[in-house]
């Protein structure tokens, strides 16, 4: 049995890897194992994917490249905790990974994906709020896209300027 997990956390099962369209831009990860879908397993698969990319991310950062990463580990922690896992357990697999200098949160338009039911999203939002620290900035995703884009660009530009003067620390 093959499982494919994409960057949005959607997992699909198939008898053959040929049934999946794996492309670099959809960040589809394949793994072969007995079909036992456990919330903990899914969480650890995504953490493993981040660990696989750790050396690449560190070398890019040391070479002066700015990385903008959608969701990253905090999303996994918030979603897995909303599914009922202990939040400290959810954070543990990512200790030692590159820590983001900026986290932007909040968006609207829920309802189209598997975990985008309002009640579930409220639990996810609660967990995101519990993870807030000084590097977390909130952008109102219900604003017009141009406004959101402008705010994100300003946050990212300021963060890049600040990071040029300080070392990057792990989570």
Q: Name residues whose C-beta falls within 8 Å of residue 65's C-beta, 6 or more positions apart in sequence.
A: none
- Greater confidence, 4 or 98? 98
Quick one: pLDDT band at residue 141, thresholds 50, 70, 90?
confident
- Greater confidence, 35 or 14? 14
Q: Which residues pair with 138 in a beta bridge?
A: 105
Q: Which of 33-42, 74-83, 107-116 has the lowest mean pLDDT?
A: 107-116
Q: State the sign of the Cα–Cα–Cα–Cα dihedral 60, 61, 65, 67.
A: positive
Residue 34: its pLDDT value, please?
Answer: 44
Q: How many residues can be counted in the chain?
A: 171
| CATH number listed for the domain at residues 56-163 | 3.40.50.300
pLDDT at 44 over 70: yes
Q: Which of 4-13, 20-29, 154-163 has the lowest mean pLDDT?
A: 20-29
* Range among 31-35, 90-94, 124-128 rated most confident: 90-94
Q: Tell me how far apart the alpha carbons of residues 94 and 86 are, in angstroms, rounded to a whole number.
A: 14
Q: Tell me how far apart the alpha carbons of residues 14 and 5 are, in angstroms, rounded to a whole number.
A: 12
What value does the mean pLDDT take over residues 104-109? 60
- Greater confidence, 9 or 98? 98
- What SS3 class is residue 170? strand
Residue 138: in which H helix or E strand, if any?
strand 136-138
pLDDT at 119 over 60: yes
In degrees rounded to 5, what are phi and psi of residue 52? -60, -30
Q: How do residues 72-101 score in pLDDT, each as one tens digit?
A: 788 888 889 999 999 999 999 999 988 877
Domain boundaries, the chain: 56-163
């Amino acid at each position: 049995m093959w499982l494919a997990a994409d960057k949005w956390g959607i997992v699909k099962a198939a008898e053959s890897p040929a049934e999946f369209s794996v492309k670099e831009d959809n960040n589809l990860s394949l793994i072969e194992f007995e079909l036992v879908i456990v919330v903990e397993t899914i969480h650890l698969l995504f953490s493993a994917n981040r660990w696989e990319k750790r050396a690449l991310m560190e070398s890019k950062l040391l070479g002066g490249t700015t990385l903008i990463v959608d969701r990253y580990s905090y999303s996994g922690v918030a979603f897995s905790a909303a599914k009922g896992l202990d939040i400290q357990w959810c954070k543990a697999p990512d200790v030692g990974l590159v820590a983001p200098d900026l986290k932007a949160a909040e968006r609207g338009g829920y309802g189209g994906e598997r975990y985008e039911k309002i009640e579930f999203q409220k639990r996810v939002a609660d967990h995101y709020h519990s993870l807030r620290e000084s590097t977390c900035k909130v952008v109102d995703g219900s604003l017009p896209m141009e406004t959101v884009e402008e705010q994100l660009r300003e946050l990212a530009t300021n963060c890049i300027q600040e990071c040029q003067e300080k070392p990057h620390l792990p989570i």
